[in-house]
Amino acid sequence: MIKQQRLSAERSRQLTRLLTIANTANIRALMEPSELAKVIALVAIDIGKGGEMAQAFPALWPKVVPHQGYYDIAVDWFTAPDVSVTSFDVVDMLDTGASLDQDFMTYLTCLTELHKRRRKYGLILQQQPLPTMVQVSPRALMEYGPDFPPEALASWLTWRKFFYDIDNRSAQETGYLFEPILAAAIGGEPKSARERVVRRADDPTKGRQVDCWKVLPDGTLLAYELKLRVTIAASGQGRFGEELSFARDCKSSGAKPILVVLDPTENDKLTGLQAAYHEAGGAAYVGDAAWSHLEDEAGATMASFIERYVRVPVASVSSFEKIIEGDTSKRSLILRDLQAKLEGNQLTISLGEHQRRIERHEDQSLATDADDDSEPGEM
């Protein structure tokens, strides 16, 4: 296949977006073309077009074809460099894939975003600094005494804060990922408050953030609120007022509000939210109905993405929590024994008989006190 010697400006921008893992003040990382080619090959196999791609690229395909599903593949397989795979190969694969399925690029965009967020979080696990005594020693006032001598208490406070930090970062990365990929999968896109597709009823000069904005062929405007769960935490009262008013703001802006909550756990706040959406002429989908709505809106190809990459992992982990005596407010989970060990630059986390090793290279620019006492936002 003859390669052009220069990518068009549009192709260059597309390739840059796909290859960029992170480009922030603290983390900058790019995929190699061979890594992106492997993700493209996964997409082709997922949608049943692996044979066509293998035929189109007989020399390239053996270098990039996966032999397992995405979640079964170690990250080292993706990151192993292969300089023989070039950006021009990637562009040719993109063109071929797009010709095979109309949703190929949407599927690829979603899987690439998932892969990049996972890769970025892997870098965070390697680089997130351990907290300092300046940060955690005041908390000793809560536990200083006979249970832990000072040396043990110092370790306990440090480990506890470190796990909080990396959990907070995980929640942030999940939030950045969750809404955009579901929006793309159902044929919409997120809109910022600045774009003002939905305006505040009490101040039309101000807009509302919309998780997914979608225009139907008949001109109907849909404004989605996509949530993993709705909690009853008292700390979220102000935010809950904003969530209730979103449905009204959508109605006054000429859009139909749609609430999608994946967690089926009922509570008073969720009941109130559903009522607000129905009163505004909208709709609300919770639990299994939410998953079904997303998959119906997505179409066959993207529904398979939602099922394979979002619903199955969430359901698989959630299945270990058991409801007690049929009461959804009472739940139990048998936890594996936890051990954390730091030797030199190697962090080892053991859960029962399972073990994960992380090579550590701290980056002090990732240390911050800004989120010490804040909880990750609801999604």
- Give the residue from 272, 192, 262, 191 showing the smallest Cα distance to 232: 272
Strand partners, 347: 342, 358
DSSP codes of every residue in 108-136:
HHHHHHHHHHHHHHHHHHHHPPPPPHHHH
pLDDT at 379 over 60: no
- The mean of the pLDDT values for the chain is 90
Q: Is 25 exposed, middle or buried (0-12, 13-18, 19+ CB in 10 A)?
A: exposed
Task: Return the axis-axis angle of helices 87-100 and 33-46, rounded to nearest 10°.
Answer: 20
Per-residue confidence (pLDDT) for residue 371, from 0 to 100: 41
**Alpha carbons 289 and 286: distance in angstroms, whole number:** 5
Give the total residue count for the chain.
379
57 residue type, one letter:
F
- The mean pLDDT value for 120-146 works out to 94
Q: Are 165 and 173 in contact (CB under 8 A)?
A: no
Per-residue confidence (pLDDT) for residue 276, from 0 to 100: 95
Of 39-53, 124-138, 362-376, minimum mean pLDDT range:
362-376
Per-residue confidence (pLDDT) for residue 267, from 0 to 100: 87
Per-residue confidence (pLDDT) for residue 33, from 0 to 100: 95
pLDDT at 370 over 50: no
Per-residue confidence (pLDDT) for residue 304, from 0 to 100: 95
* More confident position, 293 or 23: 293
pLDDT at 378 over 60: no
Per-residue confidence (pLDDT) for residue 265, from 0 to 100: 83
Per-residue confidence (pLDDT) for residue 204, from 0 to 100: 92
Which stretches of 203-331 are DSSP H helices? 237-252, 268-279, 288-305, 312-318
- The mean pLDDT value for 245-263 works out to 95
- The mean pLDDT value for 330-336 works out to 81
For residue 327, name the pLDDT band (cuts at 50, 70, 90): low
pLDDT at 71 over 80: yes
For residue 374, name the pLDDT band (cuts at 50, 70, 90): very low
Which residues fall within 8 angstroms of residue 10, CB to CB, at 6 or more apart? none
Kindly give the pairing relationship between strand 322-324 and strand 327-332.
antiparallel
For residue 369, name the pLDDT band (cuts at 50, 70, 90): very low
- At 230-244, the pLDDT tens digits run 876 544 555 778 889
Q: Are 158 and 130 in contact (CB under 8 A)?
A: yes
- At 107-130, the pLDDT tens digits run 999 999 999 999 999 999 999 999
Per-residue confidence (pLDDT) for residue 325, from 0 to 100: 59
* Number of Cβ within a 10 Å radius of residue 339: 11
pLDDT at 153 over 60: yes
**Alpha carbons 379 and 372: distance in angstroms, whole number:** 20
**Alpha carbons 182 and 106: distance in angstroms, whole number:** 11
Per-residue confidence (pLDDT) for residue 373, from 0 to 100: 38
Per-residue confidence (pLDDT) for residue 36, from 0 to 100: 97
pLDDT at 58 over 90: yes
**288: which 2 tokens?**
């299994």
